[in-house]
Amino acid sequence: MSAATDVIPVAKPFLGPEEEARVLEVLRSGHLSLGPRVPEFEQAFVDRLGVPYAAAVSSGTAGLHLGLRAAGVSDGDEVVTSPFSFVASANAAVYERARPVFADIDPVTLNLDPAAAAAAVTERTTALLPVHIFGYPADTPALEQLGLPIVEDACEALGAVHADGTPVGGRGHPAVFAFYANKQITTGEGGMVAIGDAATKERIDSERNQGRAPEMGWLDHDRLGFNYRLSDIACAVGIVQMQRLPFLLEQRQRVADAYRAAFAADPVDDLTLPCDDADGNRRGWFVFVVQLPRSVDRDETIRALSARGIQSKPYLPAIHLMSFYRERFGYREGQFPVTEDVSARSIALPFFPAMSEGQVARVVEELRAVLTA
């Protein structure tokens, strides 16, 4: 394929020789797990977010699971959360045999609507699980008014900042970040829980490592635990990625600005772009998701874009409409109209730090051609 028709991927990690060098160092040291790279990677989050503690874990999902356990979620409890999310946020509650109680989202920010969340609280609610969707800060300050434990799904929101200047993940609730290859930083697979208090740090450190207390011998365990450890190899990649973070966020901002400029120069009718930063909140750019006009067939659009060398994907499906959630919890269509409307029309366009202005222009041009065909 020529340069003009090369496939533009929907996401692409940004890695360099520095990551390779740090990984080699770990491999040559022979200390592949439970070694020095783990606290070093954790320290990078402590420094970035201004929290007292952080715990590296094997995935964002693992972090959400341990965060909910630390919040005291167990059998028969209810966790109020957003149905417009990656399925892992709701699944984490199900792991503890709790019920994910969905509340609808704000049509502009696409985050949990605090009023809807408040209305969903019952005497069985043990935690709130807001998701900072697409990197836009959820209204955590409003949720804090409800006086319940909060666990934040910040897996898409590294770099985001709340209106009061607090970095997303820096409010003291267990807040979980994720490092799959499409996230702001990657370790291949991996996650980090930002933590506000020593007891939670101690519990999560233990539960990620088979329930072992810090002073205990290798095979001594005083509580139920998991193997949710992150290897030193992965942490070595993460350490370099955290050093790159300001650059990576800057590049994501540049690409988002290029999309906005291209759509502003020649608007596509009835296309909804990601919301602008408002009221002092700042997005940490993760994906560029647009909502297609209601008259358009989304799957057909994705196929047509693909035929033109542009990758895109439906993003995100409504969790309550997934068959497992319908069958296990009795959710059905019509319960969360904003989520259903938005999720039926949303597609993620190619978006990654090394994306050129030319590639952005080509995506916008092809999308326009497909939509006006």
Ligand X SMILES: *Cc1c(COP(=O)(O)O)cnc(C)c1O
Closest Cα to residue 68, out of 56, 53, 59, 79? Answer: 79
Name the residue number minimizing CB distance to ligand X: 60
Segment near ligand X (CB under 6 A); pick from 2-10, 151-159, 219-227, 255-263: 151-159
89 in Cβ contact with 129 (< 8 Å) = yes
Taking CB under 6 A as the criterion, the residue among 191, 238, 350, 353 binding ligand X is 191
CB of 312 or CB of 359, closer to ligand X: 312
Residue 156 in the binding site for ligand X (CB under 6 A): yes
Q: Which is it for strands 53-57 and 78-81: parallel, antiparallel or unpaired?
A: unpaired
Asked if 55 and 201 touch (Cβ cutoff 8 Å), the reply is yes
Please return the burial class of 68, using the count of CB atoms within 10 Å of its CB with bins 0-12, 13-18 and 19+.
buried
**Residue 98 touches ligand X, criterion: CB under 6 A:** no
CB 82 within 8 A of CB 105: yes
Confirm or reject binding of residue 343 to ligand X (CB under 6 A).
no
Residue 61 in the binding site for ligand X (CB under 6 A): yes
CA 62, 101, 107, 367 torsion-angle sign: positive
From the CB of 253, what's the least distance to ligand X, in Å? 19
| 178 near ligand X (CB under 6 A) | yes
- Counting Cβ atoms within 10 Å, is residue 297 exposed (0-12), middle (13-18) or buried (19+)? exposed
Residue 5 C-beta: closest distance to ligand X, Å: 30
Q: Between 8 and 27, how does the x/- string for binding to ligand X read (CB under 6 A)?
A: --------------------
Decide if residue 59 touches ligand X (CB under 6 A).
yes
Site string for ligand X, 63-92 (x = CB under 6 A): ----------------------xx-xx---
Q: How far apart are CA 303 and CA 309, in angstroms?
A: 10
12 belongs to the catalytic site = no
How far apart CA 225 and CA 99 sit, in angstroms, is 22
Query: Does residue 180 belong to the site contacting ligand X (CB under 6 A)?
Result: yes
Check residue 157 for interaction with ligand X (CB under 6 A).
Answer: no
Catalytic residue among 12, 183, 201, 313: 183
CB of 36 to ligand X, least distance (A): 23
The closest alpha carbon to 162, from 273, 282, 68, 276, belongs to: 282
Write out the residues near ligand X by the rule CB under 6 A. Answer: 59-61, 85-86, 88-89, 131, 153, 155-156, 178, 180, 191
What are the residue numbers of the active site?
A: 183
